[in-house]
Structure 1
Amino acid sequence: MSLEKFVTVNTQHGPVKGDRRTTILGMDYINFQGIPYMKAPVGKLRFRAPVEPEKWTETFDATQDCPPFPIYDMMVQKIVGIEDGGRINVFTKELRSTNFYPVLVYIHGGGFQTGTSSPSLFNCPDYLLQKELVIVSFNYRVGALGFLSLDDPSVDVPGNAGLKDQRMALKWIKENIKNFGGDPDNITLFGTSAGGASVHYHLISEKSKGLFHRAIAMSGTSLNMNWAHHPRRNYAERIARLCGYEGDGSDKSILEFLENADFEKIVEASENILTDEEKFQEHVVFANGPVVEPYITDHTFIHKSPILMAREAWSKDIDVIFGGTSNEGLLMKSLPNEDSKRVQYLQDFKNFSPFVDLNLDKNDPKAKEIGNTLKELFYGATTPTDSYMLPYYYYQGDLQFWHGIQRAVLSRIKAGGKGKTFTYYFNIVTEMNIFKKFFKNENFPGAEHGACATYLFKNNFTTFSSFESIEFKNIMKVVGIISNFAIYGHTGVDEWEENKSLELPLRCLHLTKDGMQMIDLPETARLKVWDKIYREAGAVLY
């Protein structure tokens, strides 16, 4: 008996129409794309916490892809997207009314500056749909539109609107997913890069308590300073000035101007506000991102340092996986190529020092001492040059990713609780490593930042040659680990040890193209140096 092509499901806000499709692996599923979960944040809603959408009575067509929120897309090198981008995608095998499927919810990456949940290019769930799961993804505001933060309480723009969008999407999933065949009491949250950092924020923010039941933070945590947790800066005024603002600099006048500015101009300005000192001395990767909100509201998401929030995390009794890739710092080569400027700044070794995170003045003699220590750790007696950048990428991998990941793991262990904490080390390199190809990083060793996602989601740039290929075998390996965790609450890898002790090294499941085994985290010796630097500077590690 043939099935109807179109399927209608009721949600809290109104009926939605999906359609039946087949994955490239021959699995039938029902596709719903672009369901509104929030009201378009335009006018006075721009920059503010999200509002639920109006209800509708006519069936909403959820068979078409939805553009992202406004972003600068590095792949096509232009601004794309719409302000009414608060949409959610649901992919389900069938609309069960009993024996509901476990739910796997993905938060896309992009440094809190770019990215999309769209399955048309990167996030197609064909591989994951081999398993008995409902897959969900969604857009959230990024860049200035998602993370503008103003100090004046009267304007009610404390920041983190993008994280609040995510929280509203999670609430929508919890309340509606049963109608799509999903189990609202078995939801696993996972994400890559900024998505991984977002997962960690939801783990430590009381606002997300109870909205999911397990979590996987991939290549990102809230303790990854310089991009996942920003110090407060005058980004809002800088953006406004670049857009033509000539006012007195008050928060009210800046907000009024930006509420009426063209969103493309805001996105373009946001790409150009960092100074060379911020980029190359302070190692700020992107402008705009999560901040500690300057005052308390009924929608406050981050009320104090993530380090302090993590100590009191509601999630200490749920199981979590943290992990990263073997060459996270290659991300820096993927950004606009300014290696010559980086090298120029690194000739002054104090610029190796994470003095912003350590609350040190860059001219403090201690900053120079720390910088010398880190320069010797990565470069030894040699000097950085633009033809010898590999040590710099390892340095950035520690600074921007692995040190924060290790601290997040230790933070959970120190907090106690019944939840298990697992760690992986992703070192798979095959033809599926799209970002190595796209950014011409093939000559550098290791797996690049974000590589793990290309083994979970089908994309339009890579594929496997056959079911016997090394690419397909590794797709199924990674999909198996993630799906087992979501479906059964365990990884399916018997030898995968959880981390229970504050003693280093962390134990990691090492994933290579030829297999997997438990190892000590390879970065441990370097990270102990970072720890020593932080302790001697009086900084809190976790």
Structure 2
Amino acid sequence: MTEYVHKHHDLGEFRGLRRGDDVVQFRGIPYADIPGRFFQAQLRTKLPQTPFDATRPGPICPQNDAMPFPPLWQKSPDLLGPALTPPVADEFHCLNLNVTAPLSVLEGGEPCPVMGFIHGGAFMTGSASVQVGGREIYDATNLVHASITLKQPIIVVAINYRLGPLGFLASKQLKELNESRNEPIGNYGLHDQAHAIEWVSRFIAGFGGDPSSITLQGASAGGASCHFQAVSFSKSRVKRAILASGTALAIGAMPLDYHQDRYDALCRKFGEEQDDYVNVLQSVPVQVLVNEVSSVSKPLIDEQYITGRGMPWLKDVPTNVDLLIGSCEYEDDVTLAILGHFAPSPPTAVTLGNHVEAALIPSGVTSMTSKYFSPEMLNVIFRVPPYLIAGYDDTAAGKVYVYEFQAKSPYPNWPPGYDRSHHAVTDVFLFDVASDLVPEQHRNRWSTAVSELRSAWIKFCWGELPWEAATTDGGEAKLAYVLKDNKTWQSRPIMGDFINDKIAARWEALLRVAD
């Protein structure tokens, strides 16, 4: 592993890392500055110093570690790649990104498309440099190398953004704070992401990227983030988006009253009634603050970027962005952890209103929620939206391509997801940072699925639409594609092929009462 010096025509000199013969990686590049807690970030257009040391992971957002990344594998003495110390947490220096690029484009080759990667973690945890067993799960080296082998090279940009209360706390008081500064209200984490995308559009050409060909990709909350960016925050800068196991319906925005209740509950944890809780929360030690919030963070309906929720809102914000959108066969493994545990008795509309109704189905379904949803149907939250989105989007200029991922995780170290196509497993296949730890009996099926998934995603980044667009019939998507172990992508005509008859029947009943 050797250092690589790159002279960017606008930003100056970077010191990165050579990753093999054909890939170079630059880590921890700051893209925006945070002037204070609960303030909107400001785009950074200069490096803090030059040459800039981009050989180490950048700081990440402080977070509650109660929801770690699944321990898919243990540390191996034979690491593939650099031995990296875990990134440090730093509230005010966490807005940075990693650029992984083909050597050929850095040295004057034809500009290539860009994949902007947004990590998941329920808007609560995670980072672009999160490690499992000493390996960065989202290390893009192997993915970029695969794109070079396919003769369709891409640059991958993985971003960090604010999480939990630092990124998504909202209230009337914080609204007033942002308004007093003439800045957007709340959704700090989503605005961070938008700044990163703006930074890419301004400066990626200096790394050999094509700023007119940006594709966003993410899973779970990362997929929802990509959806929000594509339809509201950064749509003019984004050409395409790949939404995996997450959409703006699955992890949807909530109104100010919803956030106010949580804000008030948080304030009560820090003492008696006070006149200025904003000042209190701004002065609380950061780790104390993030540890006090353990529930899923939700974006805010801010009435400017996000003006509503569910299908009615999406119908009002058509986009030119092409969407490749889908889910995994077995979304249940971490869904309970992400959405909260329901009581064993049938859930009420009020209970699910905080999670499902507000994010998933058109407004006419509200009264039907308690009748048709139950805990075993939690995977519907992730598996139904692709079909709903494809079904309504007839008038949008962008096309929708629907998939179902059925290839299975080969890592037995995490029993809930082993031998299943579990929630967000597509990222594990896409980055493929631990192929040497795949058990022998799974290696053939694993390598086939990795190759197929990567090929489809890379082609999409290049504007080659890998399948036929989803056709619709009365609001129902009638064409999707499925990837199974040891198979190439296969077309399937109806959603019922992917979801059992019981769930499909309930889904159809919901559609009959939907707006």
Q: Distance in 1 between matches of 2:317 and 2:367?
A: 36
Equivalence map 1:218-237=2 (5 Å): 218-224=244-250, 227-231=251-255, 232-233=258-259, 234-237=261-264
Map 1:275-424 onto structure 2 (within 5 A).
286-293=295-302, 300-305=304-309, 307-313=311-317, 315-316=319-320, 318-332=321-335, 342=342, 345-348=343-346, 350=348, 354-355=352-353, 371-374=370-373, 392-393=375-376, 395-398=377-380, 400-413=381-394, 415-417=395-397, 419-424=398-403
What's the C-alpha RMSD, in Å, of the aligned pairs? 3.2
Quote the offset at 1:103 in angstroms.
1.0
- Structure 1 counterpart of 2:293, which letter? S
Distance 2:399 2:27 in 1: 34
Retained in 1: the 8 A contact 2:19–2:141? no
Q: Is the 8 A contact 1:88 1:137 kept in 2?
A: yes
Instruction: Kindly state the Cα deviation for residue 332 of structure 1 after the two structures are TM-superposed.
Output: 3.3
1:510 aligned to 2:476?
A: no
Match of 1:440 among 416, 441, 444: 416
Distance 1:409 1:470 in 2: 30
Quick check: 2:99–2:155 contact (8 Å CA) kept in 1?
yes
State how far apart, in whole Å, the 1-side matches of 2:416 and 2:372 are.
31
Q: Deviations over 1:45-73 (max 9, x none)?
A: 21222112373443221111123211223
Give yes or no for contact 2:483–2:490 (8 Å, CA) kept in 1: yes
| 1:82 counterpart letter in structure 2 | D
Asked whether the equivalents of residues 449 and 483 of structure 2 are also in contact (C-alpha less than 8 Å), the reply is no
- The answer as to whether partners of 2:122 and 2:338 remain within 8 angstroms in 1 is no
TM-score normalised by length of structure 2 = 0.80
- Aligned mate of 1:453, from 420, 427, 440: 427
Q: 2:117 aligns with which of 82, 91, 106?
A: 106
Q: How far apart are 1:156 and its partner, in Å?
A: 1.0
Give the corresponding residue for 1:204: 231
Q: Aligned AA for 2:42?
A: V
Matched, 1:267 2:290: yes
Aligned partner of 1:501 in structure 2 is 472
Q: Could you tell me which of 63, 67, 71 is aligned with 2:59? A: 67
Counterpart in the other structure of 1:121: 136
Query: Could you list the runs of 5+ residues in structure 1 that have no partner in the other structure?
Result: 272-285, 360-365, 376-391
- Which residue, out of 87, 90, 93, partners 1:82? 90
What SS is found at the alignment partner of 1:72? coil
The answer (yes or no) to whether the contact 2:10–2:206 under 8 Å persists in 1 is no
Find the aligned partners of 2:142 and 2:326 in 1 and give their Cα distance. Answer: 20
Asked if 1:33 is matched to 2:27, the reply is yes
What is the TM-score normalised by the length of structure 1?
Answer: 0.77
Structure 2: give runs of 5+ residues left out of the alignment. 71-85, 148-152, 180-184, 359-364
Q: Percent of aligned pairs with the same residue?
A: 23
After TM superposition, give the deviation of residue 331 of structure 1 in Å.
1.5
Give the aligned partner of residue 200 of structure 2: 173
> Offset at 1:228?
2.9
Contact 1:70 1:81 in 2 (8 A): yes
Structure 1 residues 51-60 or 508-517, which shifts more? Answer: 51-60
Q: Which SS does the other structure have where 2:431 is aligned?
A: coil
Deviation by residue 1:272-330 (Cα, 9 ceiling, x = unmatched): xxxxxxxxxxxxxx43221201x6xxxx43233353442243523x3221100011122
> 1:71·1:80 contact (CA, 8 Å) conserved in 2?
no
Compute the displacement of 1:498 (Å). Answer: 1.5
1:276 corresponds to? none
Q: 1:181 to 1:396 in 2, by over 3 A?
A: same
Does residue 1:183 correspond to 2:192, yes or no?
no
Equivalent position of 1:147 in the other structure = 168
1:321·1:422 contact (CA, 8 Å) conserved in 2? yes
In 2, Cα distance between equivalents of 1:368 and 1:133: 47
Whether the 8 Å CA contact 2:31–2:45 is kept in 1: the answer is: no
Q: Secondary structure at the match of 1:145?
A: helix
Partners of 1:16 and 1:468 in 2: how far apart?
38
Q: SS in structure 2 opposite 1:456?
A: helix
- CA shift at 1:136, angstroms? 0.8
The aligned residue for residue 481 of structure 1 is 456
1:137 aligns with 2:158: yes
Matched pairs, number: 462
Cα shift at 1:144:
0.7
Cα deviation 1:392-438 (Å, max 9, x = unaligned)? 44x0001x21233322222323x332x3211110010141xx5x742
Relative to 1, partners in 2 of residues 1:373 and 1:105: Cα closer, same or farther, differing over 3 Å?
Answer: closer
- Which residue of 144, 154, 159 corresponds with 2:186? 159
What SS class does the counterpart of residue 346 from structure 1 fall into?
coil
* Pick aligned residue for 1:427 from 385, 390, 406: 406
Conserved? CA contact 1:221–1:408, under 8 Å: no
| AA in 2 matched with 1:60 | F
Distance 1:80 1:143, change over 3 A: farther
Post-superposition CA distance 1:139-164 (Å, at most 9, x none): 01111100011224431173211000
Structure 1: distance between partners of 2:124 and 2:56: 24
Contact 1:358–1:534 (CA<8 Å) still a contact in 2?
Answer: no
Change in 2 beyond 3 A, CA 1:352/1:428: farther
Q: Is the 8 A contact 2:68 2:126 kept in 1?
A: no
Contact 1:219 1:449 in 2 (8 A): yes
